[in-house]
Structures are given as C-alpha cells and as structure tokens.
C-alpha cells in the first residue's frame, strides 16, 4: 500500500497542491473568524457564509447552463476571473470588520463576490478532477484536504493584513496550478475523457432529472450542517483558540483518519457514503446539544462533531463526483453545477433560518425542531431511495459513446468497447489456464490487462482496496512479473513488445 501511494505521489502532486489552495481559502474565508482584524461579533463568519451560499447557488446554475454552450472551465481567462472574484471577495470581507455600522452591508457584498469566485473555481476543479483516473482522484482528494488543513493553521498564525493578503493569494495560486498545461496530460489525467462535452437543452434537462434526487438530498444535508452550525456556535466573543481552532483541529484530524480508513477498507466509494457518514454524526450532534445546551463545553463538542460530518461529506463528494462523471459520461459542469447549486441553497436557507431563530433557542426546541428536519431528510431518502446509478458500476447507455461531431457514433463506440472487453476477458482466461489463477484473480487480471487502476477495480468488483492489492501481488507472483505494465505485456507478441521497449 505504501509503495503504491509513493508511486503516485510524484505524478499527482501538482493537482493536489492546487486543489489544496482552493480548499484552504474556502475554510479560512467561510469557516472561521480568521479574517476578523478589528471588531469581533458572535457568528460573524456565519453571516458571511449565508450570502456566499446564495451566490454559490445562483452562479452554479448560470455557469452550468453557459457551460453547455461553451467550454468555460477550460479557458484560462475563466480561471483568472474566478481567482479575482475570490480574492476581491476576501479583501471586502476583511474590510467589513473595521466599521460595525456598515458591517452587515459590506460583509454581505464580500460574501456574494467570494461566493461567485467559489462557484467558478469549483467548476474548474470539478472539470480537472474528472479528467484524472481513479487512482489519481483517490490520492489527490485526501492529500489536498490534509495539505489544506496545514495551510489553514498557518494562516491562523498570521496576524492582521498578512493573513488577509496570503488568503487572497490562494485563489490565484489554485488557478495557476489548475491551468498548468502539464496537468492535463500527466499525473493520471486522461485526455480522452469528454468531461466538458457540449449538450443541447433536451439533454441538459434529462440529465438534471437524473440527478434531481441526489441534488435534493444534498441540499437537505447542507441545510442541516448550516443550521446546526448556528445552533452550536459558542455565544462568546474572544478565545478563538478554544472556540474555533480546537474544534476545527480535532474535526479535521478525525475526518482524515476516518476517510483514509474508508478508502482502505470500503468495498466501494460513491455518493451514498456522504449520507452514511453525515446523518449519524448529525444525530449525535443534536443529542449532545439536547443533553445540556447551555454548557459551553458541550457546545464545543457538538460543534466539533458537526464539522467532522461536514468535512466527511466534502471528502466523499470530491471522490465520488469525479468518478461518477468518468463512469456515466455526464458532463462535469452539469453534475458539479447541479450539486453546488443544491449545496448553496442548503447553506443559504439553513444559515438564514438559524440566524433568524437563534435568539430564542433552548435545549427543548433545539431537539424538537432539529429532529423534525432530520426526519425530513430520512423520509425523503426513504421515498426516493438511493439511486442504484450512484454506484456507477456501468456506463449509462444514454451517455456512452456520444460525440459532439457525430450523432451516429454511439453504437459503433459501444460495439468497439464490448469487443475490447471481450478480448481482455479472453486474455485473462488464457492466463488463468497457464498460471493457475483463481476465479477472483482472473477477474482482477482482466481489469489489470485493460489498464484499470486499483481503485477502479475496487469499485467494479466491490472488494476492498487491500484485497485488490493482495490479488495483484498474487497475480504478479504467479506470472513472474513485477508491475502492471509488465503484466499487460505478457500476452503481447514478442516483436511488438521489443519494438515498444526500444
């Protein structure tokens, strides 16, 4: 496992660093009081977040429709504008804390400008992550989150204008790495994947209908996180270390540990992980508040648990969504646009409602009202169910093989893919007869011959990553090879193999 990750680190580090800059900017701008330079007030970051959520929702929808007509995420000018929106929004949010009389208006403007920048950068990174193979995705996402937390703590250590200046620089650095030409052809990128395919209005509407239930549940989940964040935020000003840094630190460390465990032990990583992770932690958070709402320590613990749930949902989202794009061939801008619009709506409504009712909150109505919202999520999940397509084991016939230039290419592409799959299956059977592979090893061998990454094999065969590694080691040992490339060359004619090596 360690050798496997080490082998990918060099190729994937660029996108991991760039994505980490984006995440660190997001956390420092919207998830803490790090930008507060002068006056301090309770729930100041939440008041910025509410307006950011509104513009994230609006901008994501607009960008999704515009991207179906022209490839926005691939244009460097788009990345520059996205970074400028995020950086300018950061500066405006910082200046809003200088005058209490104008704080509400200026912070709202800053939050909205930054929200547009977030939506644009999220679209770019959704496009970039969807171009990477499964191994690159499962390395880059956790590595980026780990690095982003280190960057966040460094920013908190800075004081005054320095923290704001560095935070405003992060979006520029993020877009610089996103648009480096090398990232689109190396480091696990698959330039043949059409993640930005243009579609017409009918296809757009049909695809949106396909992710409607996912978007609805995603919005409800973020409503819960946003609303609970208001309920559990400490009612004191000052002591940022205890009330913000400690919960954020604990939640980030525990989330990373849990995520890495899921990657290692889970038999599949898809959208359902967001709900399997988030809902139990939300219920635990509510129980902690109900136990003693007026106890500040209890509030901090509940606040931490809520952050663990929120970070976990983000982790699993950035792993599941790019994989879904690759397997379903749905354009990246459509899936990410729909889900970030849903997230923005959930953040806006949850934060707005929380700010409206927070003054009258008691332990009793926290539990009563919050449980109603929680049950609403469960009822929707019960009625609509978890769509089997979220498991993305097979490509949807509707989207497979579609091309911008040729409407008649779908059948030919599907037929060619089936022929190639049959060839790999036949080769795996030959290896089974020659080297005595087991049934499961033959299935793994077929996918290895096709050049599939180990995370892809884990999702396809519904086995843990550890099991994939074990099967791969056994297959290589039986066949007398040491790498996947050597294994793929086994059945290649000697003349072609020598020509390739030369």
- The pair of structure tokens assigned to 66 is 């515009």
Angle, CA of 70, 74 and 79, to the nearest 5°: 110
pLDDT at 427 over 90: no
The DSSP output letter for 245 is: I
User: What is the pTM for the complete model shown?
Assistant: 0.84
pLDDT score for 362: 61
- How far is the C-alpha of 448 from the C-alpha of 485, rounded, in Å? 9
Which pairs with CB-CB distance under 8 Å and at least 24 residues apart come from 408-411? Answer: none
pLDDT in tens, 106-120: 999 999 999 999 999
Give the whole-angstrom CA distance, residue 438 versus residue 432: 7
What pLDDT does residue 339 have?
96
Confirm if 2 and 124 have CB atoms less than 8 A apart: no
**Residues paired with 132 in a beta bridge:** 189
What are the chain's domains?
11-184+198-391 (1.20.1250.20), 412-501 (1.10.10.10)
Reported as a single tens digit per residue, the pLDDT across 304-338 is 888 888 888 998 899 999 998 988 878 999 999 99
Largest CA distance in the chain: 80
Using an 8 Å Cβ cutoff, are 11 and 138 in contact?
no
Which pLDDT does position 292 carry in this prediction? 74
Q: Is 39 helix (H, G, I), strand (E, B) or coil?
A: coil
83 pLDDT band (50/70/90 cuts)?
very high
Q: 């599907």: which residue's tokens?
A: 414
Over residues 177-236, the pLDDT tens digits come to: 998 844 444 445 554 567 888 888 888 888 888 888 889 999 999 999 998 888 777 665
Mean pLDDT (whole number) for 268-289: 84
Q: CA separation (Å) from 302 to 225, 290, 308, 481?
A: 12, 10, 10, 52
Q: What angle do CA 241, 243, 248 make, to 5 degrees?
A: 80
| Residue whose tokens read 């060619």 | 416
Whether 222 and 343 have beta carbons less than 8 Å apart is answered as yes
């Amino acid at each position: 496992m360690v050798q496997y990750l080490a082998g990918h680190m060099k190729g994937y580090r660029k996108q991991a660093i760039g994505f980490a800059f984006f995440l660190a900017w997001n956390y420092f701008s919207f998830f803490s009081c790090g930008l507060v330079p002068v006056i301090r007030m309770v729930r100041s970051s939440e008041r910025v977040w509410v307006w950011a959520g509104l513009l994230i929702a609006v901008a994501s929808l607009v960008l999704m429709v515009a991207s179906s007509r022209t490839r926005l995420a691939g244009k460097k000018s788009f990345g520059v504008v996205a970074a400028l929106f995020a950086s300018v929004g950061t500066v405006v949010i910082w200046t809003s804390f200088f005058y209490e009389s104008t704080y509400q208006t200026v912070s709202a403007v800053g939050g909205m400008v930054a929200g547009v920048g977030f939506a644009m950068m999220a679209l770019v990174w959704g496009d970039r992550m969807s171009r990477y193979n499964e191994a690159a995705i499962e390395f880059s996402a956790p590595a980026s989150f780990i690095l982003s937390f280190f960057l966040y703590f460094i920013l908190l250590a800075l004081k005054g204008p320095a923290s704001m200046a560095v935070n405003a620089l992060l979006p520029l650095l993020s877009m610089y790495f996103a648009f480096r030409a090398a990232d689109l052809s190396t480091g696990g990128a698959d330039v043949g994947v059409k993640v930005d395919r243009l579609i017409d209005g009918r296809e757009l509407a049909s695809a949106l209908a396909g992710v409607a239930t996912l978007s609805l549940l995603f919005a409800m989940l973020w409503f819960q996180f946003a609303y609970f964040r208001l309920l559990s935020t400490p009612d004191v000003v000052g002591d940022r270390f205890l009330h913000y840094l400690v919960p954020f630190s604990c939640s980030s460390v525990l989330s990373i540990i849990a995520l890495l465990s899921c990657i290692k032990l889970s038999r599949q990583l898809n959208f359902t992980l967001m709900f399997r992770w988030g809902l139990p932690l939300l219920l635990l958070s509510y129980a902690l508040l109900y136990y003693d709402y007026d106890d500040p320590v209890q509030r901090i613990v509940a606040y931490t648990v809520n952050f663990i749930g929120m970070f976990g949902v983000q982790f699993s989202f950035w792993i599941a969504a790019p994989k879904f794009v690759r397997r379903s061939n749905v354009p990246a801008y459509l899936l990410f646009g729909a889900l970030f619009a849903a997230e923005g709506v959930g953040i806006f409504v949850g934060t707005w409602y929380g700010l409206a009712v927070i003054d009258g909150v008691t332990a009793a109505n926290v539990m009563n009202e919050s449980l109603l919202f929680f049950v609403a999520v469960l009822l929707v999940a019960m009625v609509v169910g978890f769509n089997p397509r979220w498991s993305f084991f097979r490509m949807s016939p509707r989207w497979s093989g579609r091309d911008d230039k040729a409407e008649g290419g779908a059948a030919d592409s599907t037929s060619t893919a089936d022929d190639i799959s049959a060839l790999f299956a036949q080769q795996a059977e030959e290896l089974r007869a020659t080297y005595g592979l087991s049934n499961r090893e033959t299935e793994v061998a077929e996918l290895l011959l096709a050049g599939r990454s180990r995370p892809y094999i884990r999702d396809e065969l519904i086995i843990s990553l550890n099991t994939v590694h074990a099967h791969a080691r056994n297959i290589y040992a039986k066949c007398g090879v040491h790498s996947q490339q050597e294994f793929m060359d086994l059945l290649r004619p000697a003349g072609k193999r020598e020509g390739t090596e030369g």
